[in-house]
Structure 1
Amino acid sequence: MTLEDPAQYRALFEETRQSIVALLSERAATISELAGVLDKPKGTVGHHVQVLADAGLLHVVRTKKVRAVVAKYWGRTARVFYYHQVDAVVSNAQRILQQAAAQVGHLEEAAAAAGRDVEGILDVNRRDVRLPVERVDEFRDRLGDLLLEFADQPRSGDTTYAMIYGVFPSERVGLPPTDEDGP
């Protein structure tokens, strides 16, 4: 689903609502289930779910009668939300990277406290390479496809893993080109 309405951007790019949408990529859930996982009051989570529903990003996928109450199970309206780089989204990239960096820091601290190495648990790398924009676009497309493949995997196991990628113009200055061939 491609986001086109500014209300969809405002709805999606808020931290709690992003967490709700991420959780619902696993399966449909009730407000109570979401509130329990997010450790937030049901009223707060209900408000955020309603904002997402009003924006067309969530909907009730099924109901179940539990005693005298009808439980609503909320799900995403699309597996993937596509968006264009607009004002509301630009700051989102930095927020995603900051959240990922904080989680990496927590993993490293926990591993050090337990006397373990993070190798095999965590893999973070960076490479700065001078390339033509056409090649960068090819890599961006391939990484995007890999991210979608990762997100579409059947849910199993005990641990939730994150995959993050970024392709951006680096501030690292490169050496000037030479007339010589080779390295």
Structure 2
Amino acid sequence: MSDTQRISTPEQHAALAHPVRQRLLFALKRQPSTISKLAAQLGVNKGGVSHHLKVLRDAGIVREAGTRTVRGGTEQYYRLTAPHLLVDDPQPEGTAALMGAVAQELDRSPVDHLLRLRHLRLSPARAAQFKEMLMRLVDELEEDPEGEPMHGILVTLYQEAEFRR
């Protein structure tokens, strides 16, 4: 399994254009899981989870990861095809779905969270330097051992569109 899954096809972009599918990716990033466990974790019915997993599977973003027998039935496990996604040419629908999924996760967070938006003027050179610094900060942060709570980090730096009168 490769470390990074490139998201480049229209089918893959469409698969990422729904908040529930984004939240499924968040959950599967933690560990492989079943439809029942994902439904309980996300507060979504099993039929919805099954549908969204099929869309993600058909797009090659998740795959089946084995089965286990439980009370006479068989549970199918799902996992990400790669631990990291690299989205080529992000689409507005996927970005909106990601932001919606993050908003849902923030709403369900059991502890206080940080959400701060700041606008500041930066030269192109300083913006590039700041972007590199943010990427390094996030990429170099080492994880605590298994069993500790999972935290999400969403970092973005964007130039505002100019308003013209």
Shorter-chain TM band = 0.7 to 0.9
Which of the residues 102, 106, 113 maps onto 1:103? 106
| Residue 25 (structure 1) shift | 0.5
Query: Which residue among 18, 30, 34 is the counterpart of 1:30?
Result: 34
Please report the TM-score for the alignment, with normalisation by the length of structure 2: 0.75
How far is the alpha carbon of 1:47 from its aligned partner? 0.9
Partner of residue 76 from structure 1, selected from 65, 72, 80:
80
The aligned counterpart of 2:96 is 91
**Among the aligned pairs, what percent are the same residue?**
25
Q: Which structure exhibits the higher relative contact order, with contacts defined as CA atoms closer than 8 Å and separated by 6 or more residues?
A: 2
18-27 vs 87-96, greater mean Cα deviation: 87-96
- Of 16-25 and 160-169, more deviation after overlay is shown by 160-169
> Measured at CA, do residues 140 and 67 of structure 1 come closer, stay the same or move farther in structure 2, by a change above 3 Å?
same
Is the 2:15–2:21 contact (alpha carbons within 8 Å) kept by the matching residues of 1?
yes
Indicate if the aligned counterparts of 1:26 and 1:155 stay in contact, CA closer than 8 A. Answer: no
Equivalent residue number for residue 166 of structure 1: 156
Query: What secondary structure does 1:81 align onto?
Result: strand
Deviation at 1:144, TM superposition (A): 3.1
The ranges of structure 1 where at least 4 consecutive aligned residues each deviate by more than 6 angstroms after the TM superposition are none
| 2: CA distance, partners of 1:93 / 1:42 | 21
Q: Give the TM-score normalised by structure 1.
A: 0.68
CA distance in 2, matches of 1:151, 1:19: 23
Shift of 1:32: 0.8
In structure 2, the CA distance between the partners of 1:26 and 1:40, relative to structure 1 (3 Å rule), is same
Per-residue displacement from partner, 1:49-105 (whole Å, max 9, x unpaired)? Answer: 1110000000012222334333211000111111123343353465467x17x937x
Q: Which whole-Å CA distance do the structure 2 matches of 1:132 and 1:93 have between them?
A: 28
Tell whether 2:122 aligns with 1:131: yes
Contact 2:19/2:97 (<8 A) preserved: no
Q: CA deviation at 1:133?
A: 1.7
RMSD: 3.2
Distance 1:167 1:26, change over 3 A: same
SS in 2 for 1:131: coil
Query: Which ranges of structure 1 fall in alignment gaps of 5 or more residues?
Result: 111-117, 173-183
CA radius of gyration, larger in: 1
Letter in 1 for 2:91: V
Residue 35 of structure 1, CA deviation: 1.0
Matches of 2:128 and 2:67 in 1, distance apart? 43
Residues 48 and 156 (structure 1), Cα distance of their counterparts in 2 relative to 1, 3 Å cut? same
* Partners of 2:136 and 2:158 in 1: CA distance: 17
Structure having the larger proportion of residues in strand: 2
